[in-house]
Structure 1
């Protein structure tokens, strides 16, 4: 087992890096050189990045060091490396969306979240691997090498924020941005042993992603999409959320700022503990097949909440099975006319499952029936949550599985549909509730298993506080995959992580 002390600067958290740069223990330039050296050493086999921005990163690091030399404050992420999912627009940098369709597209504006991390002083390392248009929960696409899980490179890291997860899980970057329209932050967080947070709908504004009607495929998922942090620690998630959250007029769904103290949630919340809290635990939501390895790992992990003073009640929410309606919800949010035009021109070079979805003869009745089911599930869940402070479930029904497929065909020996392994996640995109995946433990063969903590609508602070307490009780973030290479690329790592 590799630990943080074995990984040098790459093992430092974003909070530690930001503090060390601010206090002069290390420079932003040293941090970025260390990060780029680690990418050099590891990414040739793991394929986290589809576009590196080394020159940009060095220039941003130099600006941070110059600002501190002048006595200026570059922001809360000053000098901290970050990786950006390749579905998120980055001005002047190719943003291909995992497709030949936008193979030469270079945005002329940043997504709101990219604007915000730049303004906070972060250093952008590059764009990370995604499946085509994000319409998949794994890490392969038709135009770039397949992202591989660092815990076992023959297995998928999950998706669609595949490369972002690989970058953080290996210490190439302490922070990454992912997007989550049906679990796409929480899926790879679970399979790669990370923290992945989907805040309440509207906490993190989106534009142009999902909302620029000029770009078929990219203008999808609008009513269910979230952008969120992927990190190794809950504290790093809170730090990044303190930069990302807040309203923007370009996103009509964005929420006012001020009701969540993101950093306070993980300092003051844990101080209060979970005494008096009622937590519902559901092992399968009442209808999902679950791999026995996941079931046993999460059941053992849930005991931590009782040790922390909470009352844990095994209870299923009693929701109707939404699996048949997942894709109608997604496709109703899509530009079918525009995407069918893309298929007409590029069919042979697009993902077969995506072509099938686009060409299916969808009916208005399928779309409206799915919308009614969404309303039903939303109402069932808020009624259930009236009796509990939090809901805890497995993040996924399975641990990581081989690359090259869309999902396991068997779970616990039973044939399943393609959405069953994801069934704990996408309903909370429907409801917009805050949900976080945190490492619960490992299977007997060393694969990470995630635990999901869900709060009521707008209960983001409670979710982060519970996650921080759980992390203290079960600190899996200190465990690293055996990568077969040891590189830190700097000379002052021991000082930094001491």
Structure 2
């Protein structure tokens, strides 16, 4: 009888636990039971923690019986990407080098979510150190997309997206250094938010110099909520956001009331929409679905929508150089020598490249140029809409399609809408925009001005009200091994 609980959103479930109408243990057991049924198909989790989850849930119930105040996420099952540290729980980062690594401390976000009485259901699979837009790594099976088990859920927060779409849990943590929250959100038909740089502090990931690979991407990486409703992401942000001295990039957040922001009207807002940024080759179904979704902002929400390109150029080479620059090349090259073929081929290729200082300084200069272009562009517009990705979900075991709409492209071209906003640090979300004719999810990206996280949430919630998605459940496609 409790299995259907996992179809409810986190906000509803926490309220039931708070009122004593549902115990945290009942809810946790329902999640464990559903995992046992569906996880063999989905392969979202690399490390499940059912015993720990039941212990945490039992402690929450005991506190409620004693009359103690419970946290905002009381009893809600949480999935955490395997790049994000969890004290006492294996965190492999998808690498053979860390196959047995057990952190001694939680990441700040995990620390805060557990303090709000979330329950840790387990760790979700990600590519090696997150250096990919899909979920393959040398240690674990690739997660499957619940809408079609022959397709990728996207990455690098692959398992988190898959777990949400399969309704194994109502909320998950992802990380986003070049789109890795938004990519699986789009491919899995769920909501994902990359808040402004610094809103959500990070530690030890990207910050601890003792761990090559784990310590990469410092000025690009964000940790963000992934949920099936916008309100649940706002609820998670209300717990996770705020400065911490362990992260020198972290900033105050008292200018955003995360839950109240959901109700802001959009009438009269100036919204830019671009289906291709002027250079991206886009699948025709993606273009059509997202264009129709964007036009609803003007037709039904009262905004002023203008179809215009933001002037962003193809900066994939800049992105690659920034990632390499913020990697511990010496430490990771030693690791690659030790691991040999047990390291992912695309990561090995990055490490073996003969990087020059000019590659890095040119990339940093280009990032400054893009930041300046975007703040000037956003002076004219409150929001920018685009597809999240250039293609719908594609088959497993590939880095990306090399032909889109009949045109040859690089295998990473499909990611081109996402990474520019890791350069700029602007808030960006992916909302479910619709489906292909074959029933695969398509995402729409909503980008805000620097620090205007509240408006991104407001726009996301407004679109959800006119085109809700949480009631649409996948039927699980046929797996193809």
- The answer on 1:439 being equivalent to 2:432 is yes
Instruction: Give the structure 2 partner of residue 283 of structure 1.
Output: 275
**Residue 155 (structure 1) aligned to one of 148, 151, 154:** 151
After superposition, residues 196-211 of structure 1 pair within 5 angstroms as 196-211=192-207
CA gap 1:6/1:75 in 2 versus in 1, 3 angstroms: closer
SS state at 1:480 partner: coil
Number of the residue aligned with 1:464:
457
1:460 and 1:360 map into 2 onto residues whose CA distance is 37
Deviation of 1:477 after TM superposition, in Å, equals: 2.0
Which structure ranks higher in relative contact order (CA pairs < 8 Å, sequence separation ≥ 6)?
1
Contact 2:2–2:27 (8 Å) recurs in 1 = no
> Paired residue for 2:63?
67
- Aligned 8 A contact 2:314 2:416 in 1: no
Q: C-alpha distance in 1, partners of 2:179/2:417?
A: 9
Is the contact between residue 80 and residue 172 of structure 2 (CA under 8 Å) also seen in structure 1?
A: yes
1:12-45 residue CA offsets vs partner (Å, 9 max, x unmatched): 0000100111112211010000000011001112
CA distance in 1, matches of 2:451, 2:261: 13
Please name the residue that 2:215 is paired with: 219
| TM-score (norm. length: structure 1) | 0.94
Alpha-carbon offset, residue 6 of structure 1: 12
Residue segments in structure 2 that go unaligned for 5+ positions in a row: none
What secondary structure does 1:257 align onto?
Answer: coil
User: What is the match of residue 361 of structure 2?
Assistant: 368
| Compared CA separation, residues 59 and 7, structure 1 to 2 (3 A) | closer
CA positional deviation for 1:315: 0.8
User: Which moved further from structure 2: 74-83 or 321-330?
Assistant: 321-330
Q: 1:179 aligns to what SS in structure 2?
A: strand
Residue 319 of structure 1 and its aligned partner are, at CA, apart by 2.4
Aligned length: 477
Shift of 1:458: 0.3
Contact 1:274 1:466 survives alignment (8 Å): yes
Q: TM-score, normalized by length of structure 2?
A: 0.98
Give the one of 258, 265, 272 matched to 1:262. Answer: 258
Residue of structure 2 aligned with 1:79, choices 75, 100, 103: 75
Deviations 1:167-202 (A, max 9, x none): 111110100000000000000000000100000000
**For 1:10 and 1:282, how far apart are their aligned partners in 2?**
36
Q: In 2, are the aligned partners of 1:101 and 1:346 still within 8 Å (CA)?
A: yes
- CA displacement, residues 284-309 of structure 1 (integer Å, 9 cap, x when unaligned): 01110000010000011112201100
Q: CA deviation at 1:352?
A: 0.6
Q: Unaligned stretches of 5+ in structure 1? A: 486-498
Secondary structure in structure 2 of the residue aligned to 1:476 = coil
Identify the match of residue 387 of structure 2 among 380, 385, 394: 394
1:304 aligns to 2:296 (yes or no): yes
Q: Is 2:342 aligned against 1:349?
A: yes
The 8 Å contact of residues 190 and 431 in structure 2, kept in 1 or not, is answered as: yes
Paired residue secondary structure (2:259): helix
What is the CA–CA distance in structure 2 between the aligned matches of 1:280 and 1:166, rounded to whole Å?
31
Following TM superposition, the consecutive aligned residue runs of length 4 or more in structure 1 with deviations greater than 2 angstroms are none
Give 1:321 deviation, angstroms. Answer: 2.3
Residue 358 of structure 1, aligned match among 347, 351, 357: 351
Residue 469 of structure 2 is aligned to residue 473 of structure 1: no
Determine helix, strand or coil for the equivalent of 2:470.
helix
Structure 1 match to 2:237: 241
After superposition, give the CA deviation of every residue in 1:324-381 in whole Å (9 maximum; x if it has no partner): 2111011101000000000110011111111000111111111111111111111001
Say yes or no: does 1:52 pair with 2:48: yes
1:371 alignment partner, SS class: helix
Q: Distance in 2 between matches of 1:23 and 1:57?
A: 21
In the TM superposition, residue 418 of structure 1 has moved relative to its aligned partner by: 2.6
2:475 is matched with 482
Give me the CA root mean square deviation: 1.3
Q: In the alignment, what sits opposite 1:489?
A: none
Counterpart contact for 2:31–2:168, Cα < 8 Å: yes
